[in-house]
Amino acid sequence: MTRSSVQGEDTDEGAADAPERAQAVRGDGDNGVDGAKDEPEGAALGAEGGTGEGTEGEHDAPRPRRRRRVLRWTAVVLAVVLAGTAGAGYLYYEHLNDNIKQDALNLGDNKVAKPTPNAAGQTPLNILVIGSDARDSEENQQLGGARETFGSTPLADVQMLVHLSADRSNMSVVSMPRDTLLEIPRCTDPDDGEVYPASEGRVMTNQSLGHGGPGCTVATWQELTGIHIDHFVMVDFAGVVSMADAVGGVPVCVDANIHSRDAGGHGSGLKLEKGTHPVKGEQALQWLRTRYGFEDGSDLARAKAQHMYLNAMVRVLRENATLSSPNRLRRLAEEATEALTVDPDLDSVKKLYDLSDELRKVKPERITMTTMPNRYVGARVEPTEDAEQLFRLVREDIALDGKDAKKEPDAEPEPPADPAAPDDEIAVQVRNGTRTDELGTAPGRANTVTGLLVDRGFTKAVADPSVLPSEDRTVIRYPSADLEGDARRVAKSLGVPASSVKRSTDVSGVTLVVGADWREDTAYRAPESDDRTPESAEALNGADDSACMHVNPAFTWS
């Protein structure tokens, strides 16, 4: 099992009676890592019921506008977006359209280019699904607890990227742990012009929502992954209960009797007997929130339970596309639209229906759900090399289930708008990024490659010994379009493929990072492409109806 998405302590659960390992995984107390702070996890795929005591520093982030506080709960809206409902198109459009809330798509300064269309002119679709821990209504607060957090800055405690392949044959879902350490870019609110400065160093990714809204979470994902995001979808917290009722329940499985409640009264309250049972209403909410009782009590286990629920709900919706009656269908449409906050390009029932119709083309057996591979940094986590592998597969539209037809080699990219300068005028910084988890930095590689460049006419190339990053593959980065031609020229001179030339605001000029694939020799040989989904991503197939959550013995009953 991979490392979990290490949780900051759930302040409304407590840890006194939890297993020692679970306490470590959740990162109790002050972690002191990269300036990250423990925040209350809330209820949106986050905190389970209880007192929800506040945490120092949790209210320091900028306060978003009130309408952004209705953003929560991801699980059901993801299933609805994946499956669609056959009759939604004819249901009183204006009323339903008025239910849907909207916000700007991307508040960041940098935009990631859309993927190049395939031979048939098709492009992938990427939808970011976000869940917040905010409580903004009496109903949501009653369901989520932690009343003293009412009106506080929301945290994006659930983040899932849904990738629909260009040919609409397969779908990938990537969950990011809420406490992943990364840099949040500068974000600007388009409505009032308020600027939210970039984070000082790395902070938890769930703080991005407090930097102006969901558009900053989108910008943060794009900066980290290099994946162009077309849409975002959020759903409010109370909607999960009503929508689960509307579809008549979702089957889930546990391998032993479970009661998510410890001696101190902390936990979601979920109580089920061993086996498979349909859950709906508040019990469905309990399932999606449960951390105490599943496996080691970590958020990775909770993510697995959420994936299991989503897979089952997709199957239920597909098998009962019209549900049982027009009234039930109308109820589902009401609940779904009242729950949603979307970007402006998804602001109507018709647009949502058209999107769901595209997504519904994928059969459950071609849906793959994963969690971003990560490793511990103190009590938090950071992406691993496997995470970059997962992001690359999504960027390159490679199916995570390994069932893609063999693709033709990529065509040469279009020439850059600004051609390369003469070789002797191109300034290049060379960094040694050959360190891996198993091997230390290969000595002298930056100097060696700098010498190669100088010998080939790049007389302004210099080695940068002050930065020792870690890169699985050799990469050349450039900060702006006017330097793209220079970066490509450097790559061509060394035999580095064009796919390894990337635009990035992390550098101030053309920067070559010698990766772990070039630890020796003077000639670069591009490694064979490994298009397998990393085992550490914990992939779950959408058609797998045999999955069953393992119950922690400390939370079972007889």
**Which of 40-49, 56-65, 126-135, 540-549 has the lowest average pLDDT?**
40-49
pLDDT averaged over the chain? 79
Helices and strands (H, E) in the chain, number of each type: 13, 23
DSSP state of 372: -
More confident residue, 72 or 373: 373
Specify the amino acid at residue 273: E
Q: How many CB atoms lie within 10 A of CB 406?
A: 4
Residue 325: the pLDDT is 63
SS3 readout for 440-501: CCCCCHHHHHHHHHHHCCCCCEEECCCCCCECCCCEEEECCHHHHHHHHHHHHHHCCCHHHE
Query: With the CA atoms of 339, 344, 350 and 351 taken in that order, what torsion angle do they form, in degrees rounded to the nearest 10?
Result: -100
Among the residues of 145-298, which ranges form H helices?
Answer: 214-225, 239-246, 281-289
pTM assigned to the model: 0.69
**Which of 313-322, 344-353, 467-476 has the lowest average pLDDT?**
313-322
More confident residue, 122 or 413: 122
State how far the Cα of 498 lies from the Cα of 487, in Å rounded to an integer: 9
More confident residue, 109 or 316: 109
pLDDT per position as a tens digit, 519-540 = 999 999 988 778 999 999 999 9
pLDDT per position as a tens digit, 45-75 = 333 333 333 333 334 444 444 333 333 344 4
**Which of 244-253, 361-370, 408-417, 538-547 has the lowest average pLDDT?**
408-417
More confident residue, 207 or 15: 207
State how far the Cα of 294 lies from the Cα of 298, in Å rounded to an integer: 8
| Inter-residue contact 338 to 236 (CB < 8 Å) | yes
Residue 367 has pLDDT above 90, yes or no: yes
Residue 251 has pLDDT above 70, yes or no: yes
Residue 133: the pLDDT is 65
Highest mean pLDDT among 223-237, 265-279, 339-353: 265-279
**Which of 132-141, 356-365, 406-415 has the lowest average pLDDT?**
132-141
Residue 524: the pLDDT is 95
State how far the Cα of 335 lies from the Cα of 329, in Å rounded to an integer: 10
Q: Residues 6 or more apart from 181 whose CB is under 8 A from it?
A: 33, 34, 36, 202, 203, 204, 205, 377, 380, 381, 382
State how far the Cα of 336 lies from the Cα of 99, in Å rounded to an integer: 9
Residue 528: the pLDDT is 77
